[in-house]
Chain A
Protein backbone atom coordinates (compact mmCIF):
# COMPACT_ATOMS: atom_id res chain seq x y z
CA UNK A 1 0.00 0.00 0.00
CA UNK A 2 2.76 2.40 0.96
CA UNK A 3 4.60 1.64 -2.25
CA UNK A 4 1.50 2.24 -4.35
CA UNK A 5 0.92 5.55 -2.60
CA UNK A 6 4.54 6.53 -3.07
CA UNK A 7 4.33 5.70 -6.78
CA UNK A 8 1.06 7.59 -7.28
CA UNK A 9 2.36 10.64 -5.44
CA UNK A 10 5.50 10.67 -7.56
CA UNK A 11 3.36 10.43 -10.66
CA UNK A 12 1.14 13.26 -9.41
CA UNK A 13 4.19 15.49 -8.87
CA UNK A 14 5.36 14.94 -12.43
CA UNK A 15 1.80 15.37 -13.71
CA UNK A 16 1.51 18.69 -11.95
CA UNK A 17 4.71 19.88 -13.58
CA UNK A 18 3.50 18.77 -17.04
CA UNK A 19 0.19 20.54 -16.43
CA UNK A 20 1.93 23.81 -15.55
CA UNK A 21 4.11 23.38 -18.59
CA UNK A 22 1.03 22.85 -20.78
CA UNK A 23 -0.69 25.92 -19.33
CA UNK A 24 2.38 28.11 -19.72
CA UNK A 25 2.84 27.18 -23.38
CA UNK A 26 -0.87 27.23 -24.36
CA UNK A 27 -1.48 28.39 -27.91
CA UNK A 28 2.19 28.54 -28.88
CA UNK A 29 3.33 27.55 -32.35
CA UNK A 30 5.97 25.06 -33.25
CA UNK A 31 9.00 27.35 -33.08
CA UNK A 32 8.08 29.04 -29.83
CA UNK A 33 8.46 27.33 -26.47
CA UNK A 34 6.99 23.89 -27.14
CA UNK A 35 4.37 22.28 -24.92
CA UNK A 36 4.34 18.64 -23.79
CA UNK A 37 2.59 17.34 -26.88
CA UNK A 38 4.99 19.02 -29.26
CA UNK A 39 7.89 17.66 -27.25
CA UNK A 40 6.48 14.14 -27.46
CA UNK A 41 5.95 14.37 -31.20
CA UNK A 42 9.48 15.77 -31.45
CA UNK A 43 10.69 12.70 -29.61
CA UNK A 44 8.88 10.57 -32.19
CA UNK A 45 10.50 12.52 -35.04
CA UNK A 46 13.93 12.04 -33.48
CA UNK A 47 13.40 8.32 -33.07
CA UNK A 48 12.25 8.00 -36.68
CA UNK A 49 15.24 9.82 -38.08
CA UNK A 50 17.59 7.19 -36.70
CA UNK A 51 20.08 9.85 -35.68
CA UNK A 52 18.80 9.63 -32.11
CA UNK A 53 20.21 6.14 -31.59
CA UNK A 54 23.54 7.11 -33.07
CA UNK A 55 23.69 10.11 -30.77
CA UNK A 56 22.74 8.13 -27.71
CA UNK A 57 25.45 5.59 -28.46
CA UNK A 58 27.99 8.38 -29.07
CA UNK A 59 27.15 10.06 -25.77
CA UNK A 60 27.13 6.88 -23.69
CA UNK A 61 30.36 5.77 -25.35
CA UNK A 62 32.09 9.01 -24.33
CA UNK A 63 30.82 8.85 -20.78
CA UNK A 64 31.85 5.23 -20.40
CA UNK A 65 35.40 5.85 -21.61
CA UNK A 66 35.89 9.03 -19.61
CA UNK A 67 34.40 7.47 -16.50
CA UNK A 68 36.29 4.18 -16.84
CA UNK A 69 39.61 5.99 -17.21
CA UNK A 70 38.76 8.12 -14.19
CA UNK A 71 38.00 5.00 -12.14
CA UNK A 72 41.25 3.35 -13.24
CA UNK A 73 43.29 6.40 -12.28
CA UNK A 74 41.20 7.82 -9.45
CA UNK A 75 40.67 4.77 -7.25
CA UNK A 76 44.39 3.87 -6.93
CA UNK A 77 45.28 7.54 -6.47
CA UNK A 78 42.62 8.01 -3.82
CA UNK A 79 43.71 4.83 -2.01
CA UNK A 80 47.33 5.98 -2.08
CA UNK A 81 46.47 9.45 -0.79
CA UNK A 82 44.36 7.94 1.98
CA UNK A 83 46.93 5.34 2.93
CA UNK A 84 50.32 6.99 2.69
CA UNK A 85 51.22 10.21 4.47
CA UNK A 86 53.80 11.31 1.98
CA UNK A 87 51.63 10.61 -1.06
CA UNK A 88 48.94 12.71 0.62
CA UNK A 89 51.38 15.53 1.28
CA UNK A 90 52.62 15.30 -2.30
CA UNK A 91 49.31 15.14 -4.15
CA UNK A 92 46.55 16.52 -1.98
CA UNK A 93 47.41 20.22 -2.50
CA UNK A 94 47.48 19.63 -6.26
CA UNK A 95 44.13 17.83 -6.18
CA UNK A 96 42.58 20.62 -4.15
CA UNK A 97 43.98 23.17 -6.61
CA UNK A 98 42.55 21.45 -9.69
CA UNK A 99 39.23 20.38 -8.22
CA UNK A 100 37.36 23.71 -8.30
CA UNK A 101 38.07 24.24 -12.03
CA UNK A 102 34.98 23.38 -14.04
CA UNK A 103 35.82 20.69 -16.62
CA UNK A 104 34.25 22.95 -19.26
CA UNK A 105 37.00 25.48 -18.61
CA UNK A 106 39.46 22.88 -19.89
CA UNK A 107 37.80 22.74 -23.29
CA UNK A 108 40.16 25.12 -25.13
CA UNK A 109 43.15 23.26 -23.67
CA UNK A 110 41.58 19.94 -24.58
CA UNK A 111 41.04 21.03 -28.18
CA UNK A 112 44.63 22.20 -28.30
CA UNK A 113 45.87 18.92 -26.80
CA UNK A 114 43.93 16.57 -29.03
CA UNK A 115 43.53 18.73 -32.14
CA UNK A 116 46.44 17.09 -33.96
CA UNK A 117 45.47 13.54 -33.16
CA UNK A 118 45.05 11.33 -36.24
CA UNK A 119 44.27 7.91 -34.75
CA UNK A 120 40.90 9.00 -33.36
CA UNK A 121 38.33 11.73 -33.82
CA UNK A 122 39.89 14.66 -31.87
CA UNK A 123 36.57 16.08 -30.69
CA UNK A 124 35.68 12.69 -29.22
CA UNK A 125 38.91 12.65 -27.29
CA UNK A 126 38.41 16.11 -25.85
CA UNK A 127 34.87 15.21 -24.72
CA UNK A 128 36.23 12.05 -23.08
CA UNK A 129 38.95 14.11 -21.46
CA UNK A 130 36.38 16.48 -19.98
CA UNK A 131 34.34 13.57 -18.62
CA UNK A 132 37.51 12.14 -17.15
CA UNK A 133 38.22 15.45 -15.39
CA UNK A 134 34.65 15.76 -14.18
CA UNK A 135 34.60 12.34 -12.56
CA UNK A 136 38.13 11.80 -11.31
CA UNK A 137 38.00 14.30 -8.43
CA UNK A 138 34.87 12.94 -6.76
CA UNK A 139 36.37 9.45 -7.18
CA UNK A 140 39.70 10.44 -5.60
CA UNK A 141 37.91 12.15 -2.74
CA UNK A 142 35.65 9.16 -2.11
CA UNK A 143 38.52 6.66 -2.15
CA UNK A 144 40.67 8.85 0.10
CA UNK A 145 38.03 9.31 2.76
CA UNK A 146 37.04 5.63 2.47
CA UNK A 147 40.58 4.59 3.39
CA UNK A 148 40.86 7.17 6.14
CA UNK A 149 37.57 5.93 7.58
CA UNK A 150 38.62 2.27 7.89
CA UNK A 151 38.24 1.09 11.46
CA UNK A 152 41.76 0.79 12.90
CA UNK A 153 40.95 -2.57 14.48
CA UNK A 154 40.73 -4.23 11.05
CA UNK A 155 44.21 -3.00 10.25
CA UNK A 156 45.44 -4.26 13.60
CA UNK A 157 43.98 -7.69 12.96
CA UNK A 158 45.82 -7.74 9.65
CA UNK A 159 49.16 -6.77 11.20
CA UNK A 160 48.52 -9.26 14.01
CA UNK A 161 48.31 -12.02 11.40
CA UNK A 162 51.41 -10.52 9.77
CA UNK A 163 49.68 -9.47 6.60
CA UNK A 164 51.19 -6.54 4.76
CA UNK A 165 51.85 -5.00 1.36
CA UNK A 166 49.68 -6.17 -1.51
CA UNK A 167 47.83 -8.74 0.61
CA UNK A 168 46.91 -5.96 3.04
CA UNK A 169 45.66 -3.85 0.13
CA UNK A 170 43.55 -6.54 -1.50
CA UNK A 171 42.38 -8.47 1.54
CA UNK A 172 41.71 -5.65 3.98
CA UNK A 173 41.96 -2.07 2.71
CA UNK A 174 40.06 -2.49 -0.55
CA UNK A 175 37.19 -4.58 0.82
CA UNK A 176 36.88 -2.34 3.87
CA UNK A 177 36.76 0.79 1.72
CA UNK A 178 34.58 -0.70 -1.02
CA UNK A 179 31.12 0.46 0.09
CA UNK A 180 32.18 4.10 0.28
CA UNK A 181 34.13 3.89 -2.97
CA UNK A 182 31.09 2.50 -4.79
CA UNK A 183 28.90 5.30 -3.47
CA UNK A 184 31.50 7.76 -4.73
CA UNK A 185 31.57 6.12 -8.16
CA UNK A 186 27.82 6.42 -8.47
CA UNK A 187 27.99 10.10 -7.59
CA UNK A 188 30.84 10.62 -10.06
CA UNK A 189 28.94 8.95 -12.89
CA UNK A 190 26.02 11.31 -12.27
CA UNK A 191 28.35 14.31 -12.50
CA UNK A 192 29.97 12.86 -15.63
CA UNK A 193 26.63 12.58 -17.38
CA UNK A 194 25.70 16.16 -16.52
CA UNK A 195 29.02 17.47 -17.76
CA UNK A 196 28.92 15.39 -20.93
CA UNK A 197 25.98 17.30 -22.37
CA UNK A 198 27.74 20.60 -21.81
CA UNK A 199 30.93 19.20 -23.33
CA UNK A 200 29.05 18.03 -26.41
CA UNK A 201 27.55 21.45 -27.06
CA UNK A 202 30.99 22.64 -28.06
CA UNK A 203 33.08 21.24 -30.83
CA UNK A 204 31.60 17.81 -31.44
CA UNK A 205 29.33 16.76 -34.33
CA UNK A 206 27.33 14.04 -32.61
CA UNK A 207 25.77 13.15 -29.28
CA UNK A 208 22.83 14.43 -27.28
CA UNK A 209 24.48 17.74 -26.41
CA UNK A 210 25.16 18.32 -30.09
CA UNK A 211 21.54 17.43 -30.83
CA UNK A 212 20.36 20.20 -28.54
CA UNK A 213 22.69 22.75 -30.09
CA UNK A 214 21.86 21.64 -33.61
CA UNK A 215 18.10 21.76 -33.04
CA UNK A 216 18.35 25.21 -31.56
CA UNK A 217 20.23 26.44 -34.64
CA UNK A 218 17.37 25.07 -36.74
CA UNK A 219 14.81 26.68 -34.42
CA UNK A 220 13.37 23.23 -33.60
CA UNK A 221 12.74 23.79 -29.91
CA UNK A 222 10.49 20.75 -29.80
CA UNK A 223 13.57 18.66 -30.61
CA UNK A 224 15.56 20.50 -27.94
CA UNK A 225 13.06 19.46 -25.30
CA UNK A 226 12.82 15.96 -26.75
CA UNK A 227 16.61 15.60 -26.38
CA UNK A 228 16.35 16.87 -22.81
CA UNK A 229 13.86 14.11 -22.04
CA UNK A 230 16.17 11.51 -23.53
CA UNK A 231 19.07 12.86 -21.45
CA UNK A 232 17.01 12.51 -18.31
CA UNK A 233 15.95 8.95 -19.06
CA UNK A 234 19.46 7.78 -19.88
CA UNK A 235 20.78 9.52 -16.76
CA UNK A 236 18.30 7.56 -14.67
CA UNK A 237 19.27 4.32 -16.42
CA UNK A 238 22.97 4.91 -15.76
CA UNK A 239 22.33 5.71 -12.11
CA UNK A 240 20.17 2.66 -11.51
CA UNK A 241 22.75 0.48 -13.27
CA UNK A 242 25.38 1.81 -10.87
CA UNK A 243 23.04 1.28 -7.93
CA UNK A 244 22.54 -2.30 -9.03
CA UNK A 245 26.28 -2.93 -9.33
CA UNK A 246 26.73 -1.36 -5.90
CA UNK A 247 24.15 -3.48 -4.15
CA UNK A 248 25.16 -6.73 -5.85
CA UNK A 249 28.82 -6.15 -4.98
CA UNK A 250 27.90 -5.49 -1.37
CA UNK A 251 25.26 -8.17 -0.95
CA UNK A 252 27.71 -10.85 -2.01
CA UNK A 253 29.90 -9.93 0.92
CA UNK A 254 26.93 -9.57 3.17
CA UNK A 255 27.03 -5.87 3.83
CA UNK A 256 24.16 -4.69 1.66
CA UNK A 257 21.73 -2.33 3.28
CA UNK A 258 18.83 -4.76 2.97
Chain B
Protein backbone atom coordinates (compact mmCIF):
# COMPACT_ATOMS: atom_id res chain seq x y z
CA UNK B 1 0.00 0.00 0.00
CA UNK B 2 2.88 2.35 -0.57
CA UNK B 3 1.81 5.68 -2.02
CA UNK B 4 4.10 8.03 -3.90
CA UNK B 5 4.27 10.70 -1.22
CA UNK B 6 4.36 9.71 2.44
CA UNK B 7 1.31 10.70 4.48
CA UNK B 8 3.32 11.80 7.50
CA UNK B 9 6.94 12.97 7.42
CA UNK B 10 8.74 13.57 10.68
CA UNK B 11 11.99 15.30 9.85
CA UNK B 12 14.95 15.96 12.14
CA UNK B 13 12.59 16.57 15.03
CA UNK B 14 13.98 17.62 18.41
CA UNK B 15 12.36 18.97 21.51
CA UNK B 16 14.07 20.58 24.51
CA UNK B 17 12.14 21.44 27.62
CA UNK B 18 13.34 24.60 29.33
CA UNK B 19 14.25 23.58 32.86
CA UNK B 20 14.00 26.11 35.67
CA UNK B 21 17.35 27.86 35.96
CA UNK B 22 19.32 24.99 34.42
CA UNK B 23 20.23 24.02 30.91
CA UNK B 24 17.32 22.75 28.81
CA UNK B 25 16.45 19.08 29.01
CA UNK B 26 16.50 17.26 25.71
CA UNK B 27 13.38 15.12 25.35
CA UNK B 28 13.38 14.18 21.68
CA UNK B 29 16.56 14.03 19.61
CA UNK B 30 16.68 14.22 15.82
CA UNK B 31 13.79 11.96 15.00
CA UNK B 32 13.12 11.00 11.40
CA UNK B 33 10.21 8.86 10.32
CA UNK B 34 7.98 8.66 7.33
CA UNK B 35 4.60 6.96 7.30
CA UNK B 36 2.60 5.91 4.26
CA UNK B 37 -1.08 6.49 3.81
CA UNK B 38 -3.14 3.87 5.63
CA UNK B 39 -0.18 2.49 7.52
CA UNK B 40 -0.50 1.27 11.11
CA UNK B 41 2.63 2.36 13.02
CA UNK B 42 3.32 1.43 16.62
CA UNK B 43 5.82 3.41 18.66
CA UNK B 44 7.32 1.53 21.58
CA UNK B 45 9.93 2.57 24.08
CA UNK B 46 10.67 2.71 27.79
CA UNK B 47 8.10 4.65 29.79
CA UNK B 48 8.84 8.33 30.10
CA UNK B 49 11.01 8.35 26.99
CA UNK B 50 8.92 10.93 25.16
CA UNK B 51 6.74 8.79 22.89
CA UNK B 52 3.65 10.69 23.95
CA UNK B 53 5.46 13.97 23.46
CA UNK B 54 6.25 12.97 19.89
CA UNK B 55 2.58 12.21 19.30
CA UNK B 56 1.55 15.52 20.82
CA UNK B 57 3.89 17.37 18.46
CA UNK B 58 2.62 15.43 15.46
CA UNK B 59 -0.95 16.38 16.39
CA UNK B 60 -0.02 20.06 16.79
CA UNK B 61 -0.54 20.33 20.56
CA UNK B 62 3.15 21.04 21.15
CA UNK B 63 5.75 22.88 19.13
CA UNK B 64 9.10 21.21 18.45
CA UNK B 65 12.40 22.98 19.11
CA UNK B 66 13.89 21.87 15.79
CA UNK B 67 12.62 20.10 12.74
CA UNK B 68 9.07 19.63 11.65
CA UNK B 69 6.22 17.24 11.02
CA UNK B 70 4.54 17.39 7.64
CA UNK B 71 1.24 15.79 6.83
CA UNK B 72 0.39 15.60 3.12
CA UNK B 73 3.43 17.80 2.62
CA UNK B 74 2.10 20.61 4.81
CA UNK B 75 3.87 21.44 8.08
CA UNK B 76 1.75 20.82 11.17
CA UNK B 77 1.27 24.05 13.10
CA UNK B 78 -1.90 23.52 15.11
CA UNK B 79 -4.43 20.80 15.88
CA UNK B 80 -6.64 19.96 12.95
CA UNK B 81 -9.88 18.00 12.86
CA UNK B 82 -8.58 15.88 10.00
CA UNK B 83 -6.29 14.12 12.48
CA UNK B 84 -7.64 13.19 15.85
CA UNK B 85 -5.82 12.41 19.09
CA UNK B 86 -7.04 9.62 21.36
CA UNK B 87 -6.06 9.88 25.00
CA UNK B 88 -4.86 7.22 27.39
CA UNK B 89 -7.54 7.47 30.08
CA UNK B 90 -10.32 8.49 27.73
CA UNK B 91 -11.18 12.10 27.24
CA UNK B 92 -14.88 11.53 26.60
CA UNK B 93 -16.87 14.41 28.06
CA UNK B 94 -18.62 13.26 31.25
CA UNK B 95 -21.38 15.82 30.73
CA UNK B 96 -22.41 14.42 27.36
CA UNK B 97 -24.20 11.17 26.59
CA UNK B 98 -22.66 8.54 24.35
CA UNK B 99 -24.38 9.87 21.24
CA UNK B 100 -23.64 13.49 22.11
CA UNK B 101 -19.99 12.62 22.64
CA UNK B 102 -19.74 10.85 19.30
CA UNK B 103 -21.51 13.74 17.58
CA UNK B 104 -19.25 16.35 19.18
CA UNK B 105 -16.93 16.86 16.22
CA UNK B 106 -19.54 16.55 13.48
CA UNK B 107 -20.08 19.39 11.04
CA UNK B 108 -22.61 18.01 8.58
CA UNK B 109 -25.10 20.48 7.22
CA UNK B 110 -28.16 18.57 8.44
CA UNK B 111 -29.01 17.12 11.81
CA UNK B 112 -30.28 13.96 10.13
CA UNK B 113 -26.93 13.37 8.50
CA UNK B 114 -25.16 13.84 11.85
CA UNK B 115 -27.54 11.47 13.60
CA UNK B 116 -27.01 8.82 10.93
CA UNK B 117 -23.23 9.10 11.29
CA UNK B 118 -23.48 8.83 15.07
CA UNK B 119 -25.69 5.76 14.78
CA UNK B 120 -23.33 4.11 12.31
CA UNK B 121 -20.37 4.46 14.68
CA UNK B 122 -22.34 3.45 17.75
CA UNK B 123 -23.09 0.22 15.95
CA UNK B 124 -19.52 -0.19 14.76
CA UNK B 125 -18.18 -0.04 18.32
CA UNK B 126 -20.94 -2.31 19.59
CA UNK B 127 -22.64 0.18 21.90
CA UNK B 128 -26.13 0.10 20.36
CA UNK B 129 -28.60 0.48 23.20
CA UNK B 130 -26.26 2.76 25.13
CA UNK B 131 -26.93 5.91 23.06
CA UNK B 132 -28.38 7.83 25.99
CA UNK B 133 -25.98 6.51 28.62
CA UNK B 134 -23.42 8.77 30.26
CA UNK B 135 -19.72 7.94 30.56
CA UNK B 136 -19.84 7.32 34.31
CA UNK B 137 -22.40 4.58 33.67
CA UNK B 138 -20.02 2.75 31.32
CA UNK B 139 -16.88 0.71 31.88
CA UNK B 140 -13.42 1.97 30.98
CA UNK B 141 -13.36 -0.17 27.84
CA UNK B 142 -16.75 1.13 26.69
CA UNK B 143 -15.65 4.70 27.23
CA UNK B 144 -12.51 4.10 25.22
CA UNK B 145 -14.74 2.78 22.41
CA UNK B 146 -16.82 5.93 22.61
CA UNK B 147 -13.70 8.03 22.28
CA UNK B 148 -12.54 6.02 19.27
CA UNK B 149 -15.99 6.39 17.72
CA UNK B 150 -15.93 10.13 18.36
CA UNK B 151 -12.62 10.31 16.53
CA UNK B 152 -13.78 8.16 13.60
CA UNK B 153 -17.13 9.92 13.23
CA UNK B 154 -15.51 13.16 12.12
CA UNK B 155 -13.79 11.15 9.38
CA UNK B 156 -10.15 12.09 9.97
CA UNK B 157 -7.36 10.61 7.86
CA UNK B 158 -4.93 10.20 10.73
CA UNK B 159 -5.44 8.84 14.24
CA UNK B 160 -2.91 9.53 16.97
CA UNK B 161 -3.44 7.00 19.72
CA UNK B 162 -1.60 7.56 23.00
CA UNK B 163 -1.62 4.23 24.86
CA UNK B 164 -5.37 4.03 24.28
CA UNK B 165 -5.65 0.57 25.79
CA UNK B 166 -3.15 1.12 28.60
CA UNK B 167 -5.72 1.63 31.34
CA UNK B 168 -7.83 -1.42 30.49
CA UNK B 169 -7.70 -4.87 32.03
CA UNK B 170 -5.94 -7.64 30.11
CA UNK B 171 -8.96 -9.36 28.55
CA UNK B 172 -10.62 -6.12 27.52
CA UNK B 173 -7.34 -5.07 25.98
CA UNK B 174 -7.12 -8.25 23.88
CA UNK B 175 -10.67 -7.79 22.65
CA UNK B 176 -10.08 -4.13 21.88
CA UNK B 177 -6.96 -4.95 19.86
CA UNK B 178 -8.94 -7.31 17.66
CA UNK B 179 -11.69 -4.73 17.27
CA UNK B 180 -9.17 -2.03 16.49
CA UNK B 181 -7.70 -4.12 13.68
CA UNK B 182 -11.19 -4.68 12.32
CA UNK B 183 -11.98 -0.96 12.45
CA UNK B 184 -8.68 -0.10 10.79
CA UNK B 185 -9.42 -2.60 8.01
CA UNK B 186 -12.78 -0.99 7.35
CA UNK B 187 -11.73 2.63 7.65
CA UNK B 188 -8.13 2.59 6.40
CA UNK B 189 -6.88 5.41 8.57
CA UNK B 190 -3.22 6.15 9.00
CA UNK B 191 -2.53 5.31 12.63
CA UNK B 192 0.30 6.31 14.93
CA UNK B 193 -0.12 4.22 18.04
CA UNK B 194 2.04 4.72 21.14
CA UNK B 195 2.35 1.83 23.57
CA UNK B 196 4.79 0.42 26.06
CA UNK B 197 3.35 -3.06 25.52
CA UNK B 198 5.64 -4.89 23.10
CA UNK B 199 3.13 -7.67 22.43
CA UNK B 200 0.50 -5.12 21.57
CA UNK B 201 2.79 -3.49 19.02
CA UNK B 202 3.65 -6.79 17.32
CA UNK B 203 -0.01 -7.71 17.08
CA UNK B 204 -1.14 -4.41 15.62
CA UNK B 205 1.55 -2.74 13.58
CA UNK B 206 2.70 -2.75 9.98
CA UNK B 207 5.94 -1.30 11.30
CA UNK B 208 7.22 -0.84 14.82
CA UNK B 209 9.30 2.17 15.78
CA UNK B 210 11.52 1.39 18.75
CA UNK B 211 12.58 4.45 20.69
CA UNK B 212 15.56 4.82 22.98
CA UNK B 213 15.56 6.17 26.50
CA UNK B 214 15.41 9.94 26.94
CA UNK B 215 16.48 11.91 25.01
CA UNK B 216 14.47 9.70 22.72
CA UNK B 217 15.65 8.92 19.27
CA UNK B 218 14.59 6.24 16.82
CA UNK B 219 16.56 3.14 17.61
CA UNK B 220 15.11 0.84 14.99
CA UNK B 221 12.14 0.50 12.69
CA UNK B 222 10.96 -3.07 12.42
CA UNK B 223 8.50 -4.20 9.76
CA UNK B 224 5.99 -6.86 10.77
CA UNK B 225 5.11 -8.77 7.67
CA UNK B 226 2.56 -11.19 9.11
CA UNK B 227 -1.09 -11.68 8.21
CA UNK B 228 -3.62 -10.56 10.79
CA UNK B 229 -4.96 -11.82 13.16
CA UNK B 230 -1.48 -12.74 14.28
CA UNK B 231 -0.91 -15.96 16.10
CA UNK B 232 0.83 -15.43 19.41
CA UNK B 233 3.04 -18.52 18.94
CA UNK B 234 4.05 -18.03 15.32
CA UNK B 235 7.88 -18.28 15.22
CA UNK B 236 8.22 -15.08 13.22
CA UNK B 237 5.96 -13.27 15.71
CA UNK B 238 8.15 -14.48 18.57
CA UNK B 239 11.33 -13.56 16.74
CA UNK B 240 10.15 -9.97 16.20
CA UNK B 241 8.95 -9.69 19.76
CA UNK B 242 12.27 -10.89 21.14
CA UNK B 243 14.15 -8.56 18.86
CA UNK B 244 12.27 -5.62 20.28
CA UNK B 245 12.74 -6.84 23.84
CA UNK B 246 16.41 -7.08 23.11
CA UNK B 247 16.51 -3.57 21.68
CA UNK B 248 14.72 -2.17 24.71
CA UNK B 249 16.48 -4.40 27.21
CA UNK B 250 19.84 -2.85 26.59
CA UNK B 251 18.63 0.35 28.09
CA UNK B 252 16.39 -1.26 30.67
CA UNK B 253 19.31 -3.07 32.22
CA UNK B 254 21.56 -0.09 32.09
CA UNK B 255 24.37 -1.11 29.80
CA UNK B 256 24.70 2.26 28.12
CA UNK B 257 23.02 4.24 30.81
CA UNK B 258 25.66 6.92 31.39
CA UNK B 259 26.92 7.19 27.84
CA UNK B 260 26.04 10.39 25.96
CA UNK B 261 23.03 9.93 23.74
CA UNK B 262 24.83 10.50 20.43
CA UNK B 263 27.14 7.55 20.99
CA UNK B 264 24.14 5.26 21.05
CA UNK B 265 23.56 3.01 18.08
CA UNK B 266 20.72 4.04 15.83
CA UNK B 267 20.81 1.41 13.09
CA UNK B 268 17.80 1.89 10.86
CA UNK B 269 16.37 5.32 11.45
CA UNK B 270 15.31 5.37 7.80
Task: Verify A161–B105 contact, CB threshold 8 A.
Answer: yes
> Does A101 interact with chain B (Cβ within 8 Å)?
no
Residues of B within 8 A of A151 (CB): 91
When A160-B84, A161-B104, A175-B95 are in contact, do A255 and B136 touch as well, CB less than 8 Å?
yes
- Does A44 touch B at the CB level, under 8 Å? no
A238 within 8 A of B: no
**A151-168 interface bits toward B, Cβ cutoff 8 Å, 1 = contact, 0 = none:** 101101101111000000
Q: Is A178 an interface residue (CB 8 A)?
A: yes
Contact, CB under 8 Å: B95 / A161: no
User: Which residues from 79 to 101 on chain B have a C-beta closer than 8 Å to any C-beta of chain A?
Assistant: 79-81, 84-85, 87, 91, 93-97
Complex contact B91–A154 (CB within 8 A): yes
A254 is an interface residue with CB less than 8 A from chain B: yes
Instruction: Decide if B137 is an interface residue (CB 8 Å cutoff).
Output: yes
Residue of B nearest to A171 (CB): B104
Given that A156-B61, A160-B59, A161-B105 are contacting pairs, would A254 and B81 also be in contact in the complex, using a CB cutoff of 8 Å? no
B105 touches A172 (CB 8 A): no
CA of A73 to CA of B59, assembled, Å:
38
Bound together, the chains give a CA A217 to CA B100 distance in angstroms of 61
Q: Are B93 and A172 in contact (CB under 8 A)?
A: yes
Asked if residues A161 and B81 are in contact (CB atoms below 8 Å), the reply is: yes
A176 CB-CB contact with B under 8 Å: yes
Q: How many A-B residue pairs have CB under 8 A?
A: 57
A118 touches B (CB below 8 Å):
no
Min CB distance, B224 to chain A, in Å? 29
Binding site for A on B (CB under 8 A): 59, 61, 78-81, 84-85, 87, 91, 93-97, 104-105, 133-137, 154
Contacts of B78 in A (CB 8 A): 159
Q: Please, which residues of chain A bring their CB within 8 A of the CB of B95?
A: 175-176, 178, 253-255
Q: Chain B: which residue is nearest A174 at the CB level?
A: B95
Contact A254 B137 (CB under 8 A): yes
Cα distance, A162 to B135, chains bound together (Å): 23
When distances are taken between beta carbons in the complex, the residues of chain A under 8 Å from B84 are 160-161
- Alpha-carbon distance between A159 and B105 when the two chains are bound, in angstroms: 10
**Assembly CA distance A157 to B150 (angstroms):** 10
Complex Cα gap A151–B137 (Å): 20
Cα A166 to Cα B137 with chains together (Å): 29
Q: With a CB–CB cut-off of 8 A, which chain A residues contact B87?
A: 153, 156-157
Give min CB distance, A179 to chain B, whole Å.
9
Give per-residue flags for A50-62: 1 if the beta carbon is below 8 A from chain B beta carbons, else 0.
Answer: 0000000000000
How far is B97's CA from A171's CA once the two chains are assembled, in angstroms?
13
Tell me, in angstroms, the Cα distance from A154 to B136 when the chains sit together.
16
Selected contact of B94 from candidates A156, A160, A253, CB within 8 Å: A253
Neighbouring A residues of B80 by C-beta, 8 Å: 160, 162
Q: List 12 A-B contacts (CB under 8 A).
A: A151-B91, A156-B85, A156-B91, A157-B85, A157-B91, A160-B79, A160-B105, A161-B154, A162-B81, A254-B97, A254-B134, A255-B134
| B96 closest partner in A (C-beta) | A253
Contact call A254/B79, Cβ cutoff below 8 A: no
Complex: A255 Cα to B94 Cα, angstroms: 7
- For the complex formed, measure the closest distance between the CB of A6 and the CB atoms of chain B, giving whole angstroms: 27
With most chain B CB atoms within 10 A of its CB, the pick from A157, A159, A160, A175 is: A160
> Is A153 in contact with B91, judged by CB distance below 8 angstroms?
yes
Residue of A nearest to B160 (CB): A160
Q: Tell me if B85 and A254 are in contact (CB < 8 A).
A: no
* Residues of chain B contacted by A153 (CB below 8 angstroms): 87, 91
Sample of 11 more A-B contacts, CB < 8 Å, known A154-B91, A162-B80: A156-B85, A160-B80, A161-B81, A161-B104, A161-B154, A175-B93, A253-B95, A253-B134, A254-B133, A254-B137, A255-B95
A154 to B95 Cα, complex, angstroms:
11
Min CB distance, A23 to chain B, in Å? 51
Q: Chain B residues near A156 (CB, 8 Å)? A: 61, 79, 85, 87, 91
CA distance A162 to B83 in the complex (A): 11
| Cα(A246)–Cα(B245), bound, Å | 52
In the bound complex, residues from chain A placing their C-beta under 8 Å from that of B136 are: 254-255
